[in-house]
Amino acid sequence: MKHYYDNRAPEYDDWYRGIGRFARRDRPGWDEDLQGLQDDVAALAPARTLDVACGTGFLTRHLRGEITALDQSERMLEVAAERVPGAELVSGDALSLPFDDDSFDRLFTGHFYGHLQDPDREAFITEAHRVASELVIVDSARRPDHEPEEWQERVLNDGSRYEVYKRFFEPDGLAHELGGGTVLHASRWFVMVSSRSRQG
Ligand SMILES: C[S@@+](CC[C@H](N)C(=O)[O-])C[C@H]1O[C@@H](n2cnc3c(N)ncnc32)[C@H](O)[C@@H]1O
């Protein structure tokens, strides 16, 4: 995965912007839903926030407060550094966060949780609640043209191919999975859920 995301960093935002390899995808309502998601991220109350797996910082830039952004890909962090100059950028592993307990008010993560299989999924949730009291997850919404979980072949501009595990979420289902939570965004393309504790 590290190799894939390092290689994808310069072209990652093409997915958001609907350009390059994504120009011909039929994505009705994408721009409106993406704007709505960004508005809802910006509406989160200012807080000491850790953005885990921040990627290029496309969503990080909308977070308010004291922002720390972590990713394992140096090339992703290079793009994020330009986009979010006010954030502290950290190279590290989401499953073993280099921070003390309760270092943050909120752990935010976009389009990362849905790539995790057990036991990494459990390990991440445990790590998230160790370092922050609130966990906010943004991910892809369940859609009729995808299975709830699947292996996808991803092709980069240089023709390299990767197999990627990916889940798609119903907002209430994600909230339930997190042991209870609040749905902060639900659209055709995206979900955002906040969870304060894990009760089972
Ligand atoms: C699909 S991108 C999401 C980027 C961004 N959060 C967003 O919503 O657009 C997934 C990101 O997770 C990072 N990543 C994957 N595994 C990681 C890990 N174990 N620790 C930290 N970052 C990781 C990748 O480098 C990549 O930047």
**What's the confidence (pLDDT) of residue 200?**
37
How sure is the predictor about 197, in pLDDT bands with cuts at 50, 70 and 90? low
Q: Coil, strand or helix: which one is 103?
A: coil
pLDDT (tens digit per residue) in 121-162: 999 999 999 999 999 999 999 999 999 999 999 999 999 999
d(CA 117, CA 131): 21
Centre of ligand 1 from the C-alpha of residue 55, in Å: 5
Residue 2: per-residue pLDDT: 87
Distance from Cα 128 to the centre of ligand 1, integer Å? 15
- Global pTM reads 0.97
Which class for 98: exposed (0-12), middle (13-18), buried (19 or more C-beta within 10 A)? Answer: exposed
Atom of ligand 1 minimally distant from the CA of 94? 20
Which residue's CA is minimally distant from atom 11 of ligand 1? 53
Q: Mean pLDDT over all residues of the chain? A: 96
Distances (CA, A) of 44 to 1, 5, 23, 64, 154: 30, 27, 31, 7, 32
Residue 36 has pLDDT above 60, yes or no: yes
Estimate the share of the chain in helix, then strand, then coil, as percent rounded to the nearest 5.
Answer: 35, 30, 35
Instruction: Map residue 72 onto helix, strand or coil.
Output: coil
> Which residue in the block uniquely carries the two structure tokens 């790590």?
127
What radius of gyration do the chain's Cα atoms show? 16
CA of 121 from ligand 1 middle (Å) equals: 14
Whether the upstream peptide bond of residue 148 has omega within 30° of 0, thus cis, is no
Q: Name which of 60, 181, 19 is nearest 191 in CA terms.
A: 181
